Amino acid sequence: MANADDVRRIALALPEATEKLAWGKPTFRVAGKIFASLGDDDAWVGVKCPKEDREELIAAEPDKFFLREGHDDNYAWLRVRLTALDGDAELSAILTDSWRQAAPRKLLDAHPAPGG
């Protein structure tokens, strides 16, 4: 079962990732842009997700993915319950995908996705 320490370890292992406190919670950034944020009681992590993909993800796995109503409505953001993840590999894939959405092109070119 994933926890806040796993989020921190995996997020900070991504190229040029940093941690900064915001809204009283740890956020993880690349080039100054947030790609992940630990949530209330460290029970979930918020990550970047295209708005058009959110509904399908939530419908497929509602125990894993959710939106914070009134907060995420207008943002490309999705919440992930840490206890619902299948381990480090799934958490790493989610955080890496979010990092790739926030990272500048130059950094992406220097660190291409596997198979890309």
DSSP string, 61-100: -TTTEE--TTTSTTSSEEEEEGGGS-SHHHHHHHHHHHHH
Number of Cβ atoms within 10 Å of the Cβ of 4: 17
The string of pLDDT tens digits covering residues 100-111 is 999 999 999 998
Residue 81 near residue 60 (C-beta atoms within 8 A): no
pTM of the model: 0.94
The string of pLDDT tens digits covering residues 67-105 is 988 778 888 999 999 999 999 999 999 999 999 999 999
